[in-house]
Chain A
Amino acid sequence: MEQNNYNYVKAELPKSVGKTGVAFLLVGIVAAILAFVLEPARASFSSLLLFVYLMGLGMCSLFLVALEYLTDAVWSVAFRRISEFMTPLIFIAPLFAIPVLFNMHDVFHWSHGEAVQTDKILQWKSPYLNMSFFLIRFIAIVGIMTLFFYLIIRNSGKQDKNPDQKYTRINVKLAAILIPFFGISITLISIDWLMSLEPHWFSTIFGIYYFAGSLLSAFAVLTLFSVKLKEWKILPDFLGRDHFYNLGAFMFAFVNFWAYIAFSQLLLIWYANIPEETFWFIAKFNGSWKYFSIGLILVQFIIPYAALVSQPSKSNYKRLKIMSVWIIFAHLYDLYWLVMTTFDKNGIVFGWIEIGFIILGIGVVLLLFRFVYAKRNLIPVGDPKLNRCINFHI
């Protein structure tokens, strides 16, 4: 068995992480409570937005961990823990879905019984789109994903104390079982919480659209924390430009993947020109939403594409830091575009309520990182692939 000769010494995170996290969390909670008191409908939409963002981030982080086990990737071993730190979002994010469940009628048109009775399409969809099955799906997805989170992350942690290859073998098997469950779960999340905002509309590519954006944000969060840890000199020295190059390349790849999926969805609907599909896009070109929709192309595709296209830019720490922050917010922009067009069909609404929920989300992620970091090792010291990661060169 290969022995790792790397000696991990745990470094303290800068105090500012925890402090900023607490401050953001408190401000966010106050803003959220105020918002629910003053404008419950608008606050529900924002809460929904926060839920789908963090849920996608958590699930895709778990997916990244699973992907590393499945593909036997070497370069990412030392980064894996940062993705692992984000996976508890799988059961934290649903907290933000609970207020939405209490305001179902404001958010989901199909939850109105009388509306369904006069609507043939909704009647036909009601075996799927009804309150009890919706809740069953929600609980089942959160439950199954939490189970996989518990099993995979626990094995990864155990390996730190007992560097035994059997944990890697078990995790590879778990990851293989996870993938189909993950695919179905993230598709159902996107259908239930995003597509059913407009219950008459359907798009078969919608699940993968949400997946592409979420995985992109998972990579961006991973890259941002990695670069920051590198700046704080917490990340070990062996993680150099070759490792970061891969992060940049993956962000670049998934910017393209997202654009490819988004464009495919637009092209097919635009080409076929069927009224039951096109109205969704027409609504997104209503009033000031028009400029927001065109801006999406710029924000989530053209700018990150241009910023990351050249080879040196993918391993330039400063560029990576800026672009990961950019992409984190670009994905937010994307989800905001999906969600808030239903709230106000006439134009963009953006105010303290939306900002409050965004601050809340940032606080949650920072504090989560802070607390999990305190409990666990940043580097999987027992992983049999760590040596190869240390010696990784492009």
Chain B
Amino acid sequence: MENKKIYSVVGLFDTADEIIHASEKVVENGYKKFDINTPFPVHGLNQAMKLKSSPMGYFALVFGLTGTAIALLTMAFMMTFDYPLNIGGKPLFPLPAFIPVTFEVTVLLASIGTVLALLFVFFKMPHNSHPLHDSNYMKKCTTEKFGVCLEADDEKFNEADAKAFLEKLGAKEIETIYTVKEDVPPIFTKQFIGFLVFTVIVISGATYFVTNKLMFMPPFNWMMDQHRVNVQSVSTFFPDSFSMREKVEGTVPRGFMPEEYKESPDSAGKYLQNPLEYNEKNIALGKKKFLTYCSPCHGNLAKGDSRLKDNFPKPPTLHSKKLKEWTDGRIYHVITFGQGVMPSYAKQVTRQERWAIIQYIRTLQRALNPSEEDFNGAK
């Protein structure tokens, strides 16, 4: 009994009015560290106890602003810098679209942060026990009585004085509460760890069962198992066992324009003109498409030296005399219909892009073999 440390002296009152009066008196008497326990929130108790406003708001503020910053910076990094995607023609930093997400992350982090701060800073996790737990005082306070708890940490505290003071206030059931000495915080005891392990196993097992087994049992699989043809499966409905229908003969897509001079490359060279203006914008477009579709075989600088050169018949350089003398229309024909091993690229690149690619090829040809005038011009 001697080595037990006193935690506090407690006393009980019967009504909310009495407790407000009592807390005022406690403050008047100079006690700083004390607490009031009531079975329900009592209006006006804050003022009676002269409580300072809680620092909790600052935690919420800091965590909330962190959330704002994380959300905005993450989205800006991903959507604007790392992998810019044009979505619906919106700018690459679409602030209005980011606002709802930013708001959600702000609220999420503020609330989680506040709860964690509450647990770890104010409740001192992992210690989750309190001397008042399991006391007769707390049992009464959580049902019908209003309790005052004068803590021993207070400078003014003295057990006998405190008891006399509470008695003078009219408190009943005055008693001394001792700190409970604990070797291990209760959440590190075998029972609690065992409970955690049990919870983890049950929840993960249940999750596995629901997502991998239950969803494939009736009635949850009704939507999956419908009368329809799945990808790569045979249709039993149509005689040709395809689920996709062929186009009706003679149909063309909207805006379809047939390619000209399919069988006569020379006519293409003679009659087709590059409709694009030779300018920076078109060259830039041509460069982009060239690097995507042409460079794997022809090389980044169109020298016929690409990374695929040993796996295929050697692709030609585009800096040969023949190519330089070919008109734009002749090259256009090759891109459109293919030549030798090279297939048609009509499906991959639009007409405009093909003409832009040709402009870029011309630019490369001139850049790798500059003439005297080009140097003079550069000066």
Q: A273-B88, A393-B44, A394-B43 are in contact. Are A267 and B96 (CB under 8 A)?
A: yes
| B47, B53, B89, B99: the one within 8 Å of A311 (CB) | B53
Within 8 A of A (CB), among B77-103: 88-89, 96-97, 99-100
A102 within 8 A of B: no
B57 within 8 A of A: yes
- Map CB proximity to A onto B43-84 as digits: 1 under 8 Å, 0 otherwise: 110110000010001000000000000000000000000000
A263 within 8 A of B: yes
**Once the chains bind, are B57 and A393 in contact (CB under 8 Å)?**
no
**Once the chains bind, are B53 and A273 in contact (CB under 8 Å)?**
no
Within the assembled complex, what's the spacing in Å between the Cα atoms of A266 and B97?
Answer: 10
**Closest CB-CB distance, A290 to chain B, in whole Å?**
15
**Once the chains bind, are A312 and B53 in contact (CB under 8 Å)?**
yes
Residues of A within 8 A of B57 (CB): 310-311
Residues of A within 8 A of B47 (CB): 393
Number of interface residues of A (CB under 8 A): 12
Residues of B within 8 A of A392 (CB): 43
**Once the chains bind, are A393 and B43 in contact (CB under 8 Å)?**
yes
**Once the chains bind, are B97 and A271 in contact (CB under 8 Å)?**
yes
**Closest CB-CB distance, A244 to chain B, in whole Å?**
14
**Once the chains bind, are A271 and B89 in contact (CB under 8 Å)?**
no
**Once the chains bind, are A267 and B100 in contact (CB under 8 Å)?**
yes
| B43, B46, B89, B99: the one within 8 Å of A273 (CB) | B89
**Closest CB-CB distance, A270 to chain B, in whole Å?**
5
Residues of A within 8 A of B44 (CB): 393
Nearest residue in A to B46 (C-beta to C-beta)? Answer: A394
Residues of B within 8 A of A393 (CB): 43-44, 47
Nearest residue in B to A268 (C-beta to C-beta)? Answer: B96
Residues of B within 8 A of A271 (CB): 88, 96-97
**Once the chains bind, are B96 and A270 in contact (CB under 8 Å)?**
yes
Residues of B within 8 A of A266 (CB): 96
Residues of A within 8 A of B89 (CB): 273
Within the assembled complex, what's the spacing in Å between the Cα atoms of A312 and B43?
Answer: 17
**Closest CB-CB distance, A247 to chain B, in whole Å?**
18
| A267, A310, A394: the one within 8 Å of B99 (CB) | A267
- Map CB proximity to B onto A241-284 as digits: 1 under 8 Å, 0 otherwise: 00000000000000000000001001100110100000000000
Within 8 A of B (CB), among A303-330: 310-312
Within the assembled complex, what's the spacing in Å between the Cα atoms of A310 and B96?
Answer: 26
Nearest residue in A to B43 (C-beta to C-beta)? Answer: A393
Within the assembled complex, what's the spacing in Å between the Cα atoms of A394 and B100?
Answer: 32
**Once the chains bind, are A263 and B43 in contact (CB under 8 Å)?**
no
**Closest CB-CB distance, B36 to chain A, in whole Å?**
15
Residues of A within 8 A of B53 (CB): 311-312
Q: Which of A270, A311, A393 has the most chain B CB within a 10 Å cutoff?
A: A393
Residues of B within 8 A of A270 (CB): 96
**Closest CB-CB distance, B295 to chain A, in whole Å?**
35
Residues of A within 8 A of B97 (CB): 267, 271
Within the assembled complex, what's the spacing in Å between the Cα atoms of A56 and B100?
Answer: 29
Within the assembled complex, what's the spacing in Å between the Cα atoms of A394 and B97?
Answer: 38
**Closest CB-CB distance, A275 to chain B, in whole Å?**
13
Within the assembled complex, what's the spacing in Å between the Cα atoms of A266 and B94?
Answer: 13
Nearest residue in B to A312 (C-beta to C-beta)? Answer: B53
Within 8 A of B (CB), among A344-394: 392-394
Chain A contact residues, CB within 8 Å of chain B: 263, 266-267, 270-271, 273, 310-312, 392-394
- Other A-B contacts than A263-B96, A273-B89, A393-B47, 4 sampled, CB-CB below 8 A, are A267-B97, A267-B100, A271-B96, A394-B46
Considering the complex of A and B, which 3 residue pairs feature the smallest CB-CB distances, nearest first?
Answer: A393-B43, A393-B44, A270-B96
